[in-house]
Amino acid sequence: MIGRLNHVAIAVGDLEKACKLYRDTMGAKVSEPLPQPAHGVTVVFIELPNTKVELLYPLGDNSPIAKFLEKSPDGGIHHICYEVEDLIAARDKLKAGGARVLGDGTPKIGAHGKPVLFLHPKDFNGTLVELEQV
């Protein structure tokens, strides 16, 4: 069911500074900021040879990232994203096994333009997990 690691998402309080760190200090390819109003974030993708790092910056006062940064002002890892072939089948199998899907269980379109779901961190060793259909 679980596929490859798609990305690791890091919440940041200063998007420009974080982009500069990855681009200028580490020499990575950094995308342009992409506002995601449906998710309350602006995202930037750091392209690596084997995966991506997603920088998350709050978009609006009700952003879940703003709440995250209140608790962790320096930022930090927010979630990890795994690819799945069939998001609905994965959701149903995980729910049958006792995992909790956040929200109403209906996939939303993520920053890559593909359906995504999030799984409760208490069911995955304290880690918020995003599943993305490939």
Q: How do the pLDDT tens digits run along the chain, 134 residues long?
A: 899 999 999 999 999 999 999 999 999 999 999 999 989 999 999 999 999 999 999 998 889 999 999 999 999 999 999 999 999 999 999 999 999 999 999 999 999 999 999 999 999 999 999 999 99
**pTM of structure:** 0.93
Beta bridge partners of 55: 10, 44
Domains of the chain with CATH codes: 2-133 (3.10.180.10)
What are 99's two structure tokens? Answer: 């995992």
Beta bridge partners of 119: 101, 129
Q: State the catalytic residues.
A: 130
